[in-house]
Amino acid sequence: MSVPRNARSVSRLVTKASGSNFYYAFLFLPKPKREAIYAVYAFCRLSDDLVDEAKAGGDPAAALTRWRKELDAYFRDSVGHPVIVAAGQAARRFSIPKTHFEELLNGMEMDLTRTRYATFEELYSYCYRVASVVGLICIEIFGYQNPRTREYAERLGIAFQLTNILRDLSVDAERGRIYLPQDELRRFGYSEDELLAGTYNDAFVELMRFQCERARDYFRTAMAALPPEDRRSLLAAQIMRSTYYRLLLKIEQEHYNVFQANIALPKSHKLLLAAGLWLRSTLTFK
C-alpha cells in the first residue's frame, strides 16, 4: 500500500517549516528513505507541539491521549491523521516496532507530569525516550548490519538531547521546567531560583562546563560504538552529529551564556556541512 500523496506532502512541509537541524541531513538520502524520515520527524514534531504549544485553556494531556488513539487506529485499521499514516507506512516498510513510537509518546508525557529531575539517572530515562528512541527509529530507515549500531544510536540521542537542554535552558525555564539534575545544581552552588531568573555567574559557568563535558563524552562514546561497516549507511546520522557537536562548541565559545547568546547555526552553514560530509563520504567509499 502506497503512502497517500497528501500524507507525504504534510510530513515534508512540517519538517521543512520547523527549521530543524535535522532537515539538511535528510537531503542526501534516497527518496524512499528521505520520505520515511520526513514522516517520522513530522510525527515527533507534532507530538512535541501537543505538549509545548498547547493553546491557552487547552488540555495537552487529552490531546496526547487522542494522538495515541490515532496511532493505535492506524496500526489496527490503517486510518488516521496524514502524518500518522505516513509514519505508520514508514514503520511497516522499514520494520520499525510500534513500541518505539509509544515510548516516544511516553517521553512527551513526562513533560506533562515532571518539571524537575533529582539525578542524572532520572534525566537519562527522559532523554532516552525523547531522543535515543528517535535514533533507534532512524537507523532502521538508514539501514545497518551490526547490532552494536543500536548502542551508537542510543548514545548519540543522549548527546543530542543534552545539547538541546543546555541550549534551551532559558526557554524551558520560562515554561517552569528545569532539566539539569537537582543534585548537580546543589553540587555547584547554583540555585533553582537563579536558573529561573537567568542569572549568569561563576557557579553557573562551572555547572555548564561540567554539563558540556558530559555531552562531549556521549558524542565520543557514540562514535566509538559506530561499527565501520555501517558508517556509509549512517551518513545522515553523521551529518546530524556534526551539526549538534558544533552547537555544543558554540555554547562553549559563548562562555556558556545561553541566556544572552543566540546558539544556532546559519542555514548556509548547515547545508555546507551536510554537503561536505556527503562529498567526503562519496569519495571515501568509491
The larger pLDDT score, comparing residue 79 to residue 9, is at 79
Residue 77 has pLDDT above 80, yes or no: yes
Q: What is the pLDDT at residue 279? A: 62
Domains of the chain: 1-113 (1.10.600.10), 115-286 (1.10.600.10)
The larger pLDDT score, comparing residue 10 to residue 284, is at 284
Which of 151-165, 207-221, 237-251, 265-279 has the least mean pLDDT? 265-279
CA–CA distance, 168 with 259 (Å, rounded to integer): 9
Contact 25, 236 (CB under 8 A): yes
| pLDDT, tens digit, 9 for 90 and up, residues 4-23 | 455 555 555 555 555 566 67
Q: Taking the model in full, what pTM does it have?
A: 0.89
Please give the DSSP secondary-structure letter assigned to residue 178.
-
Which of 35-49, 81-95, 270-284 has the least mean pLDDT? 270-284
Q: For the chain, where are the alpha helices, taking DSSP H only? A: 5-17, 23-26, 31-52, 60-77, 82-93, 98-113, 120-127, 133-142, 149-167, 169-174, 182-187, 192-197, 202-225, 235-253, 267-284
Q: Give the CB-side neighbour count of residue 13, counting CA atoms within 13 A.
A: 8
Residue 271 has pLDDT above 70, yes or no: no
One-letter amino acid at 157 equals: G
Predicted confidence band at 211 (pLDDT cuts at 50, 70, 90)?
very high
Q: What is the mean pLDDT of residues 205-211?
A: 98
Q: What is the pLDDT at residue 10? A: 55
81 is written with which cell numbers? 491523521
Contact 8, 86 (CB under 8 A): yes
CA–CA distance, 174 with 182 (Å, rounded to integer): 18
Q: What is the pLDDT at residue 137? A: 97
Contact 159, 135 (CB under 8 A): no
Q: What is the mean pLDDT of residues 71-84?
A: 91
Residue 212 has pLDDT above 80, yes or no: yes
Q: What is the mean pLDDT of residues 105-116?
A: 95
Q: What is the pLDDT at residue 1? A: 40
User: Residue 12: which residues within 8 A CB-CB, separation 6 or more?
Assistant: 35, 38, 42
Taking the CB of residue 276, how many other CB atoms lie within 10 A of it? 12
If you search the block for the grid coordinates 514534531, which residue do you land on? Answer: 45
> Is the torsion defined by CA of 281, 41, 112, 125 positive or negative?
negative
If you search the block for the grid coordinates 517549516, which residue do you land on? Answer: 17
Q: What is the pLDDT at residue 16? A: 54
Q: What is the pLDDT at residue 2? A: 47
| pLDDT, tens digit, 9 for 90 and up, residues 189-205 | 999 999 999 999 999 99
Q: What is the pLDDT at residue 28? A: 81
Q: What is the pLDDT at residue 20? A: 60
Q: What is the mean pLDDT of the chain?
A: 88
Contact 154, 128 (CB under 8 A): yes
Which of 7-11, 28-32, 49-53 has the least mean pLDDT? 7-11
Residue 258 has pLDDT above 90, yes or no: yes
